[in-house]
Structure 1
């Protein structure tokens, strides 16, 4: 986007809400997680492998367990009452390549295809930084599929850099996913970026 271009804005009469997930959100969150994963990887992986992954990982029980885990936060983006994006942040062990202090993992960050380009990605990333600060984190890190250049470009614009790799099991194979990290930004220190959305960390 040229610097002189105006950033995309939300459609008129729609209100963005960013909030923590609750148990009542689980059915809609399961559907959102499945849909956004399929949309992200449909041109990068086989349909069979994608369906196997979403069936195994995006279940009501899995999300209920995350909600009960004090080390994990699920953040939702909603337009009016419709869930359109989510992020998962966790105080999980960082791989050795992450050398920054007080690491916090950005496990997942996804948005529905039909709302990309409306500023929701930037808003959700700001919420991720806010949650990392609340948990007293100083370093955000994530793993991302190396063929998902759209996501990698987004994270680079937010200051993430490659620091190593970690194993990710998918479709009967183990991949060496790039690991990226960035400092947690202080309140009010967010970059002036095009609010495009990454469509996908694993």
Structure 2
């Protein structure tokens, strides 16, 4: 495996973010959801307009993991008003997405992206990181627990007509 480089994404990376988002979300969740629900979610969540707005939001931060010229994963962080739930402006940073291509699972790409999130939270002076993760995504739950996250609640995530439970997790920073 070539070394992985993590770069800050900009509006020039819009198509890369869209492509990575669609591929990695599909690889992770298509087996457990209807084709119709997946299509609707992917069309809405990774539309050019939505991704452009997110990339231009000063409270959202994107990072892409590259293996040579191949994008293999990405990270989306939210602070302030961009946070999806807590909106604990001054004290928290949300990890909205750590997505890695299935071909690169087990190769520490997710860990490198998580390390970037941790570094970002510390440089921004945040007290804790938080996220929501689907209760049935055992791989992700194990990853976050290994990295010191603890559950503190849950919320409903709707995909198509299916209400799913996301576990809310946080990690207090030293």
**TM-score normalised to the size of structure 2?**
0.90
Instruction: Tell me how far 1:171 sits from its aligned partner.
Output: 1.1
Corresponding residue of 1:105: 94
Q: Which one of the candidate residues 47, 53, 58 is aligned to 1:70?
A: 58
- Listed one character per residue, the Cα deviations across residues 21-45 of structure 1 (whole Å, up to 9, x for unaligned) are 0122111210110000000012221
Equivalent position of 2:28 in the other structure: 40
Instruction: From the CA coordinates, give the structure whose radius of gyration is larger.
Output: 1
Is the CA contact 2:44–2:50 (under 8 Å) kept in the aligned structure 1? no
Where relative contact order (Cα < 8 A, 6+ residues apart) is larger, the structure is 1
List alignment gaps of at least 5 residues for structure 2: none
Higher share of residues assigned helix: 2
8 Å Cα contact 1:89-1:132 kept in structure 2:
no
1:182 match:
171
The alpha-carbon deviation at position 86 of structure 1 amounts to 0.4
Give the Cα separation in 2 of the matches to 1:175 and 1:16.
33
Supply the RMSD in Å over aligned alpha carbons: 1.8
Give runs of aligned pairs for residues 107-122 of structure 1, distance below 5 A.
Answer: 107-122=96-111
Could you report, residue by residue, the CA deviation over 1:102-126 in whole angstroms, capped at 9, with x for unpaired residues? 1211101100011112221111110
Deviates more, 1:79-88 or 1:161-170: 161-170
Aligned to 2:76: 88
Q: Is the 8 A contact 2:11 2:56 kept in 1?
A: no
Name the SS for the 1:176 alignment partner: strand
- 1:169 aligned to 158, 161, 174, which one? 158
User: Following the alignment from structure 2 to structure 1, what is the Cα–Cα distance between the partners of residues 112 and 139?
Assistant: 17
Cα pair distance change 1:174/1:95, threshold 3 Å? farther
Q: Which residue in the other structure is 1:51 paired with?
A: 39
Query: Does 1:129 pair with 2:118?
Result: yes
**Is the Cα–Cα contact under 8 Å of residues 74 and 89 in structure 1 kept in the other structure?**
yes
TM-score (norm 1): 0.78
Q: Which has the larger share of strand?
A: 2
